[in-house]
Amino acid sequence: MMQVVTPTRTVYAYAGGLADIERKVPFTADTVTGIGSLSKQFLAVAVMQQVAAGRLRLTDRLGAYVPEYSAGSQVTLADLLTMSSGIPDYPTLLQKQHPTDAALETNPQSVRRLGAALSLPELLSLLGDQPLQFVPGSHSSYSNTNYVLLGIILARVLNKPLGQILEDNLWTPLDLSATQLGTRHAQALRYLPWHDELVFVGRGQHTVADSGIVTSATDYANWLQAILTSSDRLLPAPAWDQIFTIHHDFYGMGWFQHGPWYWHSSLILGYQADVFLSFDRQLAVFWFTNVRFLTASAKDWNRQQREWLDGLTR
């Protein structure tokens, strides 16, 4: 699934392939699918809404909201949002325990456990006594853990489930009726390549803030249009500026930058997505798929994607 959108319309749309191979269900613009780390841009807006409302401050310490985490007093909310906390990446730690490729070689269905929900006690146990990777705020390094913790903070501050917060504050105002938190709500099923076949690995049970959102291309196009217009239905203009301010030449709040293009990619055990957005060109491009690329194919895809993006910035 691929679309190109302007602030007012979709100028190109392509749909192909299957959301469910066994039942031969087509993948359409209205198919609900996992978007992995593109979830972070939703969460960044939700956090900045609370900053704008005065319930949170970017200088607040993580430890004030998640005292269970031993290093929380060293990390600010701004550090979490901009990948500047130094907190280790939890999928990397999980991968060391359960390598996906090794699991596929012995039992392709065993990777399902990597798609399980992750509670705060489980996250803290996984982090264990891992030290911060650098002094918070000194530079940036990508860590999904940052956004999991931001989701926990939102739920605690507003005393609501995170999914309800996102629905009330983001999805309902924009009429994003297909968008939810939790990959169990996806209509597109996930597949991983294994030897000469595609293996069905379910929808997973991701409910954490860094990667748990599902949506349709129709909904996501509307979301991008709200961003392209810096919609005041969501945030005041200064907050939008903060979201797209890049820190340490690496990350804003839910977005990377390459020339005039802001972008993000995602991979969550079969669900893959990429988005590119330019305020200068008033244009956004995105694509979703429910099959993980083979390693060689992925490298070729990433190379072509980078060449395409480089061409746009010339």
* CATH number, residue 115: 3.40.710.10
CB atoms within 10 A of CB 192: 21
Rounded to whole angstroms, the Cα distance separating 185 from 252 reads 29
Q: What is the pTM of this model?
A: 0.93
Residue 104's pLDDT is 56
pLDDT at 119: 93
Name the residue range of residue 82's domain.
Answer: 2-313
| Amino acid of residue 299 | K
Confidence of residue 95 (pLDDT cuts 50, 70, 90): confident
Give the whole-angstrom CA distance, residue 178 versus residue 218. Answer: 9
Residue with tokens 């803290």: 124
217 confidence band (pLDDT: 50, 70, 90): very high
Q: Indicate if the pLDDT at residue 257 is higher than 90.
A: yes
Distances (CA, A) of 170 to 81, 105, 137, 163, 305: 18, 41, 28, 10, 30
CB 189 within 8 A of CB 211: no
Q: How many residues does the chain have?
A: 314
Q: Are 306 and 221 in contact (CB under 8 A)?
A: no
Which residue's entry shows tokens 């490729």?
Answer: 101
pLDDT of 294 reads: 57
Residue 313: pLDDT over 70: no
Burial of 202 (0-12, 13-18, 19+ CB in 10 A): middle
| 3-class state of residue 6 by DSSP | coil
The per-residue pLDDT for range 33-84, each reduced to its tens digit, is 999 999 999 999 999 999 999 999 999 999 999 999 999 999 999 999 999 9
Residue 151's pLDDT band (boundaries 50, 70, 90)?
A: very high
Mean pLDDT lowest among 106-110, 123-127, 155-159, 212-216: 106-110
In the block, which residue shows the tokens 């501050």?
A: 157
Average pLDDT of the residues of the chain: 91
116: which 2 tokens?
């399980």
105 has a pLDDT exceeding 60: no
pLDDT band, very low/low/confident/very high, at 268 (cuts 50, 70, 90): confident
Q: How far apart (Å, rounded) are the C-alpha atoms in residues 293 and 109?
A: 17
Would you state the pLDDT for residue 101? 58
Q: Is the per-residue pLDDT at 137 higher than 60?
A: yes
Number of folded domains that form the chain: 1
Q: In the chain, how many H helices and how many E strands? A: 10, 13
d(CA 166, CA 179): 9
What's phi and psi for 2, nearest 5 deg?
-140, 140
